Each structure stands twice: as structure tokens, then as C-alpha cells.
Chain A
Amino acid sequence: MSAWNSRTEKVDSPTELAEIAARCRAAFARQKSRFVVCAGPACLAMDALGVLEEFRELIARRGLHLDVELLFEGAETQAAVVGSGCHGFCEKGPLVRVEPQGVLYTKVKVADVVEILEAALDHGKIVERLLYHNPDGSTCLTEREVPFYSGQQKIALKRCGLIDPEDIREYIAHGGYLALAKVLRELTPAQVIDTIQRSGLRGRGGAGFPTGDKWAACREVRGEPKYVICNGDEGDPGAFMDRSILEADPHSVIEGMIIAGYAMGAKQGILYVRAEYPLAVARVHKALQQARHWQLLGENIMGCGFNFDLEVFQGAGAFVCGEETALIASLEGKRGWPRPKPPYPSQEGLWGKPTCINNVKTLATVAEIITHGADWFRDIGTSNSPGTAVFALAGQIKNSGLIEVPMGITLREIVYAIGGGVPNNKAFKAIQTGGPSGGCLPEALLDLEVDFGSLRKAGAMMGSGGMIVLDETTCMVDIARYFLEFTVHESCGQCNPCRNGIYQMLHILNAITAGKGQPADLALLEEMGQMIVAGSICGLGKTAPNPVLTALRYFRPEYEAHIHEQACPALKCKELIAYWINPEKCVACGLCRKACPVGAISGERKVAHVINQSICTKCGICLETCPGKFSAISKVTGRQRTELLARELRGFPHNLATDGL
């Protein structure tokens, strides 16, 4: 670190922080070319690290002055290379952004780095082929132009992918800790709470409880000490919003926690992070160390006499430990079991003391609200859910990744404008929001304006922000079963409706997908679902039936087809389909016969081929093998399946087995 740096490691007053921020910004400005390589989880999996190393190496080979961290003094740096957190557009990773122009390169490979460097440093040019290409072939130069980004509005993810998460100065250069400075200098705790209350911020951890009210409750309860806990357990499969923030912008969460502590009179915070997120844990540790070093955390923060410190706790990996009371139990070294509320954590939390638990995204939003004001936040989103929502967009969608959108955006905009629609010319079927215990919404609800209230009314929920797009090949019984399998596995086993109820529901779904459903099953599923929702102790049981209940609400005919016609309309449930060769189309080329791994297909030259259903394992290889111009093989289900196979049996005496019927 430079001399200037060591002299001013400690921020002695809020005013001093403003000066430092100005110097940080100046240092930024001195970086002539800045290459920001995404080192988020998805990009790393595509060798982003190799790309990052290549940048460093090539720049070093050129003998250029390379910035590995933001320097406050010295000559202009010719090139800076930064590994950032996730940029969101994981589908197109590894991503590289060249600042200050903001040129966005997609799917960058190690071999591309030379070209990018030369274009940027030598010619002032752009590498066209690495730009994002729209479906019509036109290209986008910067993030702003890419439809995936242009429909978004970032608050919690504002700095993710923009800064080097391991350098506090980059955070400060982008306005970091200025909200805390404002709080310490200008606002009383009551005013902070008032601001958060007026902003209408609701918890982003799932339930959407008004954050300001939670803080106020925690402030009012008597009891010392008080605790602020950040819930970074994020156990939903496929969710990585909280992880991204902790990895890409850890200080924003820390700043939010300090402000929360100030507001409710807590001196101790705990950041609960999943142990499966080692990078997030490391980044947070590093950030804490730097913040303490700069006197932004710990004793006498910014010389204002306020003390607050933070500890990191690594969760042991049970989904249910994300539930706040289970989380507290696990912090106390007990079994991670939820307990009935009330008493709420604000009344009786960690070690029986008043405790405020907020989600990572909630806390990452706090500083922005303080900086820009409650009204600014209220103007974004809808009246019942101001602000933005972060979703992990996944499933059968062209642009998967992490997005932040204003509340009130329609599902259609998310799926089509941002997500780019469903790939492979398949039709959209449903969108599952809210993680494994959210709901599946049909096409007819695509114009639903997304917020806490509307999703709940539709039977789904905001949850922690999972959003999975399903195309026409998805069977709605099968998918509900899939989600239920998860919740059955993750139930803590404490209360009867959840432990036994969702297990029994899963069994009924298993029976339905196997063609063994009974006419009374749908009513039974509905009744059980409603009762489990009403009767379970915690949110896991209270929401676990959602996927089934919404599927029954919006896709009932599909369930009925399984039960009454032994048909899987999506041709997914193995026990209800058969692969069938249309004798009128088959030209007896023999390709499928050779391809079938179990030798189920028989036929000779010039004789239409036939699948022996008792041998066929329904692997689908033959279907893929049969040349498109013949398209002789198809999946059949229901009555069609019964009739075709019966006819086949009559016509082909060698195909005697009837097991498959």
C-alpha cells in the first residue's frame, strides 16, 4: 500500500470519509484501461480464472504499469485487471468488460485475451465477434444495449461485477460507507428507522415483512445485548443471489448491518453464511478485516463513538436452517429446528435476547435507501412492494442468470424481454417462482405484475427469488413431484403435517406419474395441501404444498389425464409413454436397431421396424437416431398408446410381450 494509504488507514470522521472517497474516485480515473473479468461461480466454471491470468501475464509481458489494486498515487496506470463477482449474465460467461467505455465481451476464452488487449490498448478498437449478438445478428457494445441488462434496475446488485470485492477502496469510490457516514453524522436511530419504514422496504428473504417495522420492534424491546443477524444461508437449489452479493460486494451487506445495529441499538452482528460458499466466506472475512482496519467497523466507528462488530458463522448446510428460529437454534449449538412464533426473534432471539434477522439482499439495499432517501425507493416498484426484486433466472430460458428488476414488472417482460424467451423453438408452459416451495404459474398469468402480494394471490410466492422457466416438455405432475422430493428431504421432521403429510403427498404424486392414481387423489391432495399449509409449524411446511396446489389450480387437466386416461400429455412420465415406430413412415434403414442399447428393436431390410415394449427401457436414443426426414419414431401415451401397441401386437406375432402396456 502507498504511503498516503498507511497514513490514513483509519477514517477518523465522516467528513474524512468523503475526502477519501474523492481520492478513490480520482485513483479510478487514473486507470486508463480497466479490464473487469467476471470471476463469479458460473464464469469460473468456464475458465474465467485462466482469462484473468492471461490478462495479467500479457500486460506484464508488455511491461506496462499494471494495477492489481487501486493505487492512490503514482503515474497513470496503463492497464488495470480486476476479478469481479458475478455480472449476472452467466449464460454468456466468461464475461469481460473493458472500462471506461464499458465494452462487454461475452464467452471469452483464454485465446481471445490477446485480441481484446490489442484492440483496447493499441488500436482503440472493438473485437466485434466477442460482442453480444442479438437474435437478428446486430451487436451490442455495452451492457446498457443488451436487452438482458436494459430491462433491469439494480440496487442490491448495483456494484456487483463493477468493483473488485477484495478492495475496500473500490467500494468507497462507488459511494460505499457514505450512507453510514450520513447516519452517524446526521441521523438519530429513530430517524434511520423512520426512513426505512417510509421507504416501504420489505424483507427479501421470502416473507416480505416490513424491514422498518422489524427494526422498530427490535429497538423497542428491552434487553441487552441485541443482535443483528444477516441470513446468508440460501439453501434453495439453484439460488445464488445472496452468494453473488456476498462474493461481489460484501461491504454493502456489512454497511447495511452496521446501520441496522445503530438503528436498533445493537453492538454485535453475525453474518450467517452457508459453509458451501467458501469464496463468500473468504471475501466477507477479508472485507471485515479491511473495514476494521479503516475504523469503519469495531470500536468508535469513524470516530463517532458508535461500536459495532461482526462475526461470521458458517451454517452446516440444512435448508431449514435458513428459517430464522432454526438459524438461531443452530447458532446456539442446538439442532437446527424451527420453533413456533411468537415469540418472534425480536422478542426472544439469539440467547433469548432481542434479535433482528434480515436477508442479505435486504441489508444490501439499506445503504442505498439512506443515500437516496425513502421517497426515491418508494417511487420504484409497486405501492405494496417498493423497490426491486432479485431473481435467479433458470430453467428452459435463453438468458439464464441473475437479474434485478423493479417490482411490478410483468412475468412476460422477465421471460421474454430479459430472458430472451424459451430456447429450441419450444413453447412456454409455466414459470415457477419462489424456489422449491413456490408455485407454478401458467401462460395466462404472464402479464401478472410481480410483487409480494400478486404472487401470493396467485398461489406462488416471492420466496428467496428462484425463478424457473418450464417449457412444453415439462410434465406438471412430475415437476411438482420433483419439488416435493426436495422439501420432503429437507423437512426437519418435527411436526406431523410436514414430516408425514408432504411425504404422503409425494407418494400420491409418485402413484399418479406411474399411472396408479385414483380418482379421489386430486381432492385428497388438495385437502392435504391446505391442511399442511394451515397446520405446519414453520414456513417450510406452510409452503411445501404450493407447487402441487398451484399445479392443481392451473394445470388440473394434466393431472386428470394421468389418472383417468393413463396419459402424460407432456410425454414425460416414463411409465405412461411408449416409443413407437410408425410402420407407414419407417423405411427400414436400420439405424435405430443398431443404436438401441438394449436390442429392443427388430426388423429386416424392407420391413418396417418394431420396438419390443417389454425390452425397451425408454431411453429415447432411437427417437434421436431416426433421421429427421423419416421421423418414424414418436412417443405415444394414453389411449393412443394402448391402441397403437395393441394393433402392433396383432400385426406382429413375434412381439408378444405385453408388459409395456
Chain B
Amino acid sequence: MGTIRFFIDGREITVTEGETILEAASKNGIYIPHVCHHPDLKPAGMCRVCVVEADGLLVPACRAPAAAGMVVKTGGNLVNKMQRLAVELLATNHHDDCLACGKNNACKLQEVAQYVGVDKQRLTRFQAQELRPVDDSNPFISRDYNKCILCGICVRACNEITCIEAIDYAFRGYAAKISTLSDKPLQDSKCTSCGECMVRCPVGALLPKGGVQAAYEVKTVCPYCGCGCGVYLSVREGKIVGVRGDRESKVNEGELCVKGRFGYSFVNHAERLTAPLIKRNGRFEEASWDEALDLVANKFREIQAEYGPESLGGLSSARVTNEDNYLFQKLLRSLGSNSIDHCARL
């Protein structure tokens, strides 16, 4: 594919053919407000917040491909009016409770409203009034219909990324809503609670239950399986309060499954062993790592001396990383044994 040149607000831009106006703009650091577009997903062109004027026509930048020589204006009377109306229309159906919302300061609606500049008075007469019930059935994710702006990102995430297809639009027109099959609670659907939809929801309609802001983050690898998904742990007061996928990680590019994303509470569990135990007089007693490792090493030596190196065997775990498993078999081979197995085969 060749490259083409076109203009955004007078600036000449070079892009690969087929790229949309929005992609081209963001690559060149030009902001175009948008809500229903997410770079991981196919463009939908539904919210019409991203409209720009391309060769005199209003087009959604997230969907319209840039064309050679095209003259794009990201502002002007027409564009401003359309963007403002689009944002105001979304806002009329959004229960704004920003200070108490888990998405405050990270919300796309706030972002575009700020950029576009809305007049709250214009449509306040028609603000959606009655509150709809929140779907709290899922243990990890809460879905607040009062904040949903029907951008469809969650639906596309579930279809395109996870291929679970647990949710879709239901009903028509103003009554349209995101729903599971037969409009059942999320928990009773085929949703796997992976949260891929949740992390992409531009507003506070999909939020992790009990989520709090982190004090700092720690980059690590998910301990649940050998895939080795990159994660960032959110830490606050020395405890893990959340996990997010590492978009830079080549393994998962930011995606996670339900265990990796939500299954961290065991870390702080009261019954979790945090020190090695040595059985003395029929009872397990806490010991230091040096003590424990010395004991194991001595026992290995004794066994090897008496029965030969092949008499040792090792069992590893599906719950550690590939690298740990690799090191484990290396260790056993260096001890002279080839008897290595894995708990998943037991």
C-alpha cells in the first residue's frame, strides 16, 4: 500500500493509504474528539462526536478514510455545531454524578465535553430523569445503565476481542440498551467476566466492583498460567487493589482473563503461607529460607548418595510462569535427574 498526502487544518499529513482521518490525526498529534471509537476495535461511527468536514462534507473521522489531497477541517461552524449537539445528546442520557464516579478524570465524555464546550442549559429540560436499575449480578463488574451512552464499545470488545459474544444491543430507538441474551443479568449469561469490555468502556457504565485508585503500580507477570501475560498491579497501602493488562507486553497486548484481572485477592489472604514450614516433632513450624533450603539440599545429597541421582524427581506447577518451569527442569537436570513432571498431568 502506498502513502498519500492530505491536509488537516492546513497541515500537510502523510499516511498509509486506507488509514482513517482519525488515525492519521492522532498519529500526528492532532486531537479530534471521539467517543465510540477504540483503537483496538473496528470503527462503528455511531456517536458522531468525531465529525469533521472533509472536502465540504461532514464525515465521521473514525470511519472515513483519508484520501489523497483531501482537505479536512476539524472545526468551523458546521463541525462545531454537530460535535456540540452530539456531545449534548449523549450527556442528556448520562446520569452525571462525576465526583462519585469511578471514572472521574478518566472519562471520555468529560474529555470531549470539555473540548467541545457544551451548553448544559440547552437540553436540560429533556435530561433523562428516571434511574434504571444497575446490573450488579456479576461478582466483579457492575453495569450502570444510567451512565451508558450506547457507544457499543463493550459489544465490539466482547465480539472482536474475546469472541464470547455475551452482549449485544437489544430493543430499538430510544429504548435501545446493551443486553445479554434474553436480557438476563450478566451473571446468568455466557459472560466469562474477563472485563475486556469494562476496561474499554469510555464512561463509568462498566466499572470494577470496589475499585479504588492506586498509590503506585508494579509491573509484573501474571502468576496464573504459563501464558505469562504482562500485568501492572495497582498497589495501595501495601495491598493489591487492582490489575491491569500491560499493553506493551507482546504476550497479551493488554488483554487479560477473569483470573488475571480479578483473581488477586488470594495474595492478601490470611491463610496464605508467607514463610517456609519445617515439620519438627510431627508439627509444621515456621523457618527461615536459609534453614529450609539447607535442609532440602542436605536431604537431596543423602538420597543421591544412597540411591543415585536418578532417584530424585521433580513436580512443577501450572500456576507458575514458563520461565520458572524452565529453571526448575534445569535445576533437576543439573542434579542429574530427568524425572520432571507437572501437576497438570497428575
Is A585 an interface residue, CB under 8 A from the partner?
A: no
Interface size class of B (residues with CB under 8 A): 20 to 34
A514 to chain B, nearest CB (A): 12
Complex interface: stretch among A138-146, A458-466, A497-505: A497-505
Residues of A within 8 A of B92 (CB): 500, 504
**10 smallest A-B Cβ distances: which pairs?**
A493-B176, A491-B173, A500-B89, A503-B174, A535-B48, A507-B126, A531-B85, A493-B173, A496-B47, A534-B58
In this assembly, does B198 line the interface, its C-beta being within 8 Å of a C-beta of chain A?
A: no
Contact present for A504 and B126 (CB under 8 Å): yes
- Please state if B82 and A318 are interface contacts (CB–CB under 8 Å): no
Instruction: Say yes or no: B172 contacts A490, CB within 8 Å.
Output: yes
State A499–B152 Cα separation when bound (angstroms). Answer: 13
**Residue numbers in A under 8 Å from B90 (CB-CB):** 496, 500
Task: Report the Cα distance A493→B172, complex, angstroms.
Answer: 5
Number of A residues whose C-beta is below 8 Å from B? 31
Task: Give A106 to B60 CA distance when docked, in angstroms.
Answer: 56
On whether the beta carbons of A511 and B125 are closer than 8 Å, the reply is yes
The verdict on B102 contacting chain A, using a C-beta distance below 8 Å, is: no
What are 17 A-B pairs at a CB distance below 8 A? A335-B169, A493-B171, A494-B176, A495-B46, A496-B47, A497-B48, A497-B86, A500-B92, A500-B93, A503-B174, A507-B126, A511-B125, A531-B85, A534-B82, A535-B58, A535-B82, A537-B45
The CA of A503 and the CA of B126, in the complex, are separated in Å by 9
B19 at the interface (CB under 8 A from A): no
**A374 within 8 A of partner (CB):** no
Assuming A340-B45, A531-B81, is B172 touching A492 (CB within 8 A)? yes
CB pair A493 B78 closer than 8 Å: no
Give A531 to B86 CA distance when docked, in angstroms. 9
* Max chain A C-beta neighbours (<10 A), residue from B126, B168, B176: B126
Q: Mark B151-171, 1 if CB is under 8 A from A, else 0.
A: 010000000000000001101
Tell me the A461-501 residues at the B interface (CB within 8 Å). 488-497, 499-501
* Complex interface: chain A residues within 8 A of B81 (CB): 527, 531
When chains A and B are docked, how far (Å) is the Cα of A192 from the Cα of B171? 43
Whether A528 touches B85, Cβ cut-off 8 Å, given contacts A492-B173, A493-B171, A493-B172, is yes
The A-B contact count (CB < 8 A) is: 90
A318 to B171, CA, bound (A): 11
| Contact across chains for A535 and B125 when beta carbons are under 8 A apart | no
0/1 per residue, A34-55, Cβ < 8 Å to B?
Answer: 0000000000000000000000
Q: Which residues of A contact B345 (CB under 8 A)?
A: none
Residue B106 lies at the interface, judged by CB distance under 8 Å to chain A: no
Q: How far is the CA of A508 from the CA of B171 in the complex (A)?
A: 24
**Taking the complex as formed, is A598 at the interface, i.e. its CB lies under 8 A from any CB of chain B?**
no
Residues of B within 8 A of A527 (CB): 81, 85
Taking beta carbons and an 8 Å cutoff, which residues of B are in contact with A?
A: 45-49, 51, 58, 60, 63, 78, 81-82, 85-86, 89-90, 92-93, 122-123, 125-126, 149-150, 152, 168-169, 171-176
Chain B's closest residue to A501 (CB) is: B89
A533 vs chain B, min Cβ distance (A) = 10
Residue from the list A318, A493, A501 in contact with B150, Cβ < 8 A:
A493
Question: A288-321 CB contact bits vs B (8 Å, 1 = yes)?
Answer: 0000000000000000000000000000001010
Contacts of A528 in B (CB 8 A): 85
Tell me the nearest residue of chain A to B93, going by C-beta: A500
Contact B51 A535 (CB under 8 A): yes
How distant is A620 from chain B, measured CB to nearest CB, in Å?
30
Taken together as a complex, chains A and B put the C-alpha atoms of A524 and B78 apart, in Å, by 14
Distance in angstroms from A526 CB to nearest chain B CB is 11
Determine if B85 and A494 form an interchain contact, defined as CB atoms under 8 angstroms apart: no
A500–B92 CA distance with the chains assembled, in angstroms = 9
Instruction: Knowing A507-B126, A534-B78, A537-B46 are in contact, say whether A493-B175 is a contact too (CB < 8 A).
Output: yes
Contact string against B for A residues 515-529, beta-carbon threshold 8 Å, 1 for contact and 0 otherwise: 000000000100110
In-complex Cβ contact of A499 among B60, B122, B173 (8 A):
B173
Chain A hits for B58, CB < 8 A: 534-535
Q: Tell me, rounded to whole Å, the shortest Cβ–Cβ distance linking B184 to chain A.
A: 18
Q: With A495-B45, A495-B46, A524-B122 known to touch, is A504 a contact of B89 (CB < 8 Å)? A: yes
| Set of chain A residues within 8 Å of B49, measured between Cβ atoms | 496
Let me know if A491 and B172 touch, CB within 8 A: yes
A317 → chain B closest CB, angstroms: 11
The interface residues of chain B lying within 8 Å CB-to-CB of A493 are 150, 169, 171-176
Docked Cα-Cα span, A497 to B50, in Å, equals: 12
Minimum distance in angstroms from B273 CB to a CB of chain A: 52
A153→B82 CA distance, assembly (Å): 44
